Each structure stands twice: as structure tokens, then as C-alpha cells.
Amino acid sequence: MIPSLHNGVSALKSFSEGLQVLSNNIANVNSLGYKSSRANYSDNAYIVQNNPGFAIDGEPKNDTRNFGTGVNVSSLSSNFNQGVIENTGLDLDFAIEGEALPNGGGFFEVLDPASGELFYTRAGSFESTADGFVVTRDQYRFQLVNVAGEPLKVGLEEGEDLLARRVDQNGVVSLIVSKDGQDTIRNSGQIKLSNFSAPQYLRRAGNSLFSNGNPGEDLAGIVENPVPATGSNGKIKQYALELSNVDLTNEFAFMISHQRSFQAGSRIVTTSDAILTEAVNLKR
């Protein structure tokens, strides 16, 4: 195989992976709390045939011949900027208003009740179970965690009727209840937010969830501040959800660029193949 053919193949492989990232972004344009990704490209190792040095007479020479071996996807970066916040009118829909703060203001922490594993998400679509636990509104039903590290519960006490649930920007949950003909406000806990010093090390787990590694690991460097609207944590906004932060205009522009790059890489392959065919025909 001539080196140019290998370089063309590496371009096709790398740009195919890049298109995979772009297509996933576009497919999740309406996914709650989704954070877009970007493929980062870099050149491969070089075949060194000659480096700069000095001739026999001591004069410097610059006869550099370092031949490249193509391109590869060196890493994938996640964009944690805040997405558009949409009002829903549902009292257990929460958005994190972080604006320019790191990671857009942090993440909700949810617990898998079956395995005890923690996940982090910006998709604040929750509901209450019959037992009063606040869980994600999907088939997984992960439990929302409070500042004490326990599942958040908004259950009623005996004889109470629920009138309303209120959550302020600091994550404090209050229940307005009626009991014995009197309306009262009762504190029912506080939502926990989690933030990280190196969020790029978070692992995507699907369903708009991120993992901080296996149990006992802390890959992204969790910040020990669970209270919303303090430090680098954003504010809680009730009756709202954060949408995907995918910018379709940019994604389509990148897709066209990747298409042109892929076509150029395929042209390298076909040209190299033609050269090999000519070389083989020389022996006939």
C-alpha cells in the first residue's frame, strides 16, 4: 500500500466518526437537557527520513523529510453551555439557570434505586410517586437527590390535602397543604445540585445522563457545594425545562464541511488506486 492510500483511508475513517458525532447532535436537537459534542482532529505520527542538522563542514542544513501518516479523531469535547429554557406550567419541571457560570450552573443529581449508582443531568423533568419520591419522568424513574444526599420526598402527612408545591431559586421545596380546614406551608426538603471542576471527564450514559465514573471514582472532580444559587451553582427555575443546546445552523455548516472533506479523502483513495493500477500495468 502506498502511503497516500493509507492517508486517504484515515481521512475517510476520521470524517465518518465526525459525521457520526454531528448526526447524533442533530438527532437530539429536541432532547431535554442534551449537550452537544464536537470531534477534535489531529495529525498522526510522522515517518522521519531526515531531520535538520549540520553538514560535514559545519554548515547548517535543512533537508527535512517528515512524511505524515494521516489524520485521526484525537478526542470528543462536550459543550455544557446552557440551552434554551422553556416554560411548561408543570410544578415538578425544573431548569437550572446558570448562564455564563461553569457548566451552565451544574447538574441535578439522581439516584438509580436498583443499583445505588449516581447520575447527573440537566433534564429536569420529574414527577412524584405514590410514596412521594420525586423521580425522573421516564421508564428508568431515577430518584432526585436532596442536599443531604438522600432521595427527595414530597409526600403528604396523615390528614393532609395537597394544594400546591413551590420551589424557590435556592432549591427549597415547600408544600402548601390543607389540614383540618386550615392551609399551611410546610418545608419538604431542598434540591441538590452538583458541579465539577473538569466536566469534560464526565461519561455520557444516555437518556441525557452523565456519570462521574464507577462507584468510588471521581473522574471530573466534584465540587463540594450542593446548594443551588451559591458558588458556581445556578438557580432553580420551577415550571420550566432546559432544552437541547444544539445549534442547527452550526451543525449543518459543519456537516457540509465534513461532506467536502470526506469527498476529498475519497478522491485521494481513488487517485492512489489509479497510481497503483498504473504501477501494476508496467510489468505487463
Domain regions of the chain by residue span: 3-77+247-281, 85-157+190-242
Let me know: does 106 contact 193? Beta carbons within 8 Å: yes
Q: Which three cell numbers stand for residue 128?
A: 412524584
In angstroms, the CA 145 to CA 106 distance is 14
pTM of the predicted model, to two decimals? 0.88
Alpha-helix runs per DSSP H in the chain: 3-27, 248-281
Per-residue pLDDT of the chain (284 residues; tens, 9 = 90+): 588 888 999 999 999 999 999 999 999 999 999 999 999 999 998 887 766 666 666 676 676 778 889 999 999 999 999 999 999 999 999 999 986 676 789 999 999 999 999 999 999 999 999 999 999 999 999 999 999 999 999 999 888 999 999 999 999 999 999 988 899 999 999 999 999 999 999 999 999 999 999 988 999 999 999 999 999 899 999 999 999 999 999 999 999 999 999 999 999 999 988 888 888 888 66
- Cell numbers at residue 239, please? 415550571
**Vertex 113, ends 111 and 114: CA angle to 5°?**
130
Q: Checking DSSP bridges between strand 107-111 and strand 118-121, what pairing results, if any?
A: antiparallel
C-alpha dihedral sign at 226, 227, 230, 236: positive
